[in-house]
């Protein structure tokens, strides 16, 4: 049995990055990053390309290992757990459990092309969570309705627009009922006329949900509308953070001022 005590207090961060440094070879991508995210909190990461935003997300998804520092999700260390005073590598089962708390949607949708939309959404419920098919279908249909795709459940990904495919990808992550959702530039690969429908779906989820959300985005209006807190990253550091009002109306650092001036 797990010896980890799960803490799910509302005021207790659901995500806690401590002193995280990440290097690729000589290139230091994140420098001693500290970041707490509260349950249900919506944060947006903004900043120039290459400033480390995706790396912050990939570390949380355990797709990258930190060079140093720790990350906790729901009170559990991602990389190591302390047992009898020793640090030991986390095992696959542990990582799987921690990962199951997090849903991620990327720029590219990565749907299964040979499966219907419904099956794309039920696949992990049936094969990972071992949920009976009828129950999985019911849950998937509810979610597909929420993202406006009820009419397309029997279609295949190739029959859908980019915006619809991205909404399937969102449904596929949501159906697992994660406590944290990560959206990494989910509209960057879309034709401009399809961006709005995807952002509207995310706004809807944000307004309903008690899920924490991390939004990596270049859509400043969207960040302003959805986020409780905005973090500006540059050169591997969180240079400035605050409410949307603080960030957009009173940016303090010259680097943030210069970054925002590109969107005027």
For the bound state, the minimum distance from the C-beta of residue 24 to ligand ADP, rounded and expressed in Å, comes to: 3
Cross-strand bridge partners of residue 37: 15
Q: Is 49 in the site for ligand ADP (CB under 6 A)?
A: yes
Question: Does 50 contact ligand ADP by CB under 6 A?
Answer: yes
The single residue listed with the structure tokens 């550091």 is 237
DSSP 234: E
d(CA 7, CA 5): 6
User: What phi and psi values does residue 18 have, to the nearest 5 degrees?
Assistant: -130, 115
| HSE-up (13 A, CA, CB side) for residue 18 | 12
Q: Whole-number minimum distance, CB 79 to ligand ADP, in Å?
A: 17
11 belongs to the binding site for ligand ADP (CB under 6 A): no
Interaxial angle between packed helices 117-127 and 162-174, expressed in degrees from 0 to 180 and rounded to the nearest 10: 20
CA dihedral 204, 38, 179, 207 (to 10 degrees): -10
Which among 32-40, 48-56, 81-89, 92-100 is the span making contact with ligand ADP, rule CB under 6 A?
Answer: 48-56
179 binds ligand ADP (CB under 6 A): no
- Does 167 help bind ligand ADP (rule: CB under 6 A)? no
Would you say 66 or 74 has its CB closer to ligand ADP?
A: 66
Supply the DSSP string of 70-135, one letter for each residue. Answer: EEEETTEESSEEEETTEEEEPPHHHHHHHHTTEEEE-SS----TTS-HHHHHHHHHHHTS---HHH
Question: In whole angstroms, how close is the CB of 50 to ligand ADP at the nearest point?
Answer: 4
The verdict on 24 binding ligand ADP (CB under 6 A) reads yes
Smallest gap from residue 208 Cβ to ligand ADP (A): 27
The answer to whether 54 contacts ligand ADP (rule: CB under 6 A) is: yes
Q: Distance between CA 245 and CA 58 in Å, rounded?
A: 28
Q: Which of 13, 20, 46, 53 binds ligand ADP (CB under 6 A)?
A: 53
Q: Which stretch binds ligand ADP (CB under 6 A): 43-51, 146-154, 173-181, 256-264?
A: 43-51
Decide: helix, strand or coil at residue 162.
Answer: helix
29 binds ligand ADP (CB under 6 A): yes
Give SS3 for 179: coil
Tell me: does residue 255 bind ligand ADP (CB under 6 A): no
- Closest contact distance (angstroms) between CB of 184 and ligand ADP is 7
**Binding of residue 55 to ligand ADP (CB under 6 A):** yes
Nearest to 111 by CA among 166, 159, 66, 58: 166
If binding is defined by CB under 6 A, does position 217 make contact with ligand ADP? no
Which of 14, 16, 43, 52 lies at the binding interface for ligand ADP (CB under 6 A)? 52
The reply on whether position 196 binds ligand ADP by CB under 6 A is no
Interface residues with ligand ADP (CB under 6 A) are 24, 29, 47, 49-55
């Amino acid at each position: 049995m797990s010896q980890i005590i799960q803490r799910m207090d509302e005021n207790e961060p659901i995500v806690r990055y401590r002193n995280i440094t990440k290097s690729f070879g000589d290139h230091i991508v994140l420098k001693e990053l500290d970041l707490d995210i509260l349950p249900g909190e919506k944060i947006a990461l903004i900043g120039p390309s290459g400033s480390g935003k995706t790396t912050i997300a990939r570390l949380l998804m355990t797709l990258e290992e930190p060079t140093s520092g720790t990350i906790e999700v729901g009170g559990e260390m991602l990389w190591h757990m302390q047992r009898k005073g020793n640090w030991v590598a986390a095992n696959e089962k542990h990582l799987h459990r921690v990962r199951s708390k997090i849903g991620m949607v990327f720029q590219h949708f990565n749907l299964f092309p040979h499966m219907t939309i419904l099956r794309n959404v039920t696949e992990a419920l049936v094969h990972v969570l071992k949920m009976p098919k009828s129950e999985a279908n019911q849950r998937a249909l509810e979610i597909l309705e929420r993202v406006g795709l009820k009419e397309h459940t029997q279609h295949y990904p190739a029959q859908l627009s980019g915006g619809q495919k991205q909404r399937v990808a969102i449904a596929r992550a949501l159906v697992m009922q994660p406590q944290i959702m990560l959206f990494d530039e989910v509209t960057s690969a879309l034709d401009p006329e399809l961006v709005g429908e995807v952002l509207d779906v995310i706004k809807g989820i944000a307004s309903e949900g008690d899920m924490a959300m991390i939004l990596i985005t270049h859509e400043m209006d969207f960040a302003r509308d959805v986020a409780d807190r905005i973090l500006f990253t540059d050169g591997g550091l969180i240079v400035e953070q605050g409410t949307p009002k603080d960030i957009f109306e009173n940016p303090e650092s010259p680097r943030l001022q210069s970054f925002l001036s590109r969107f005027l």
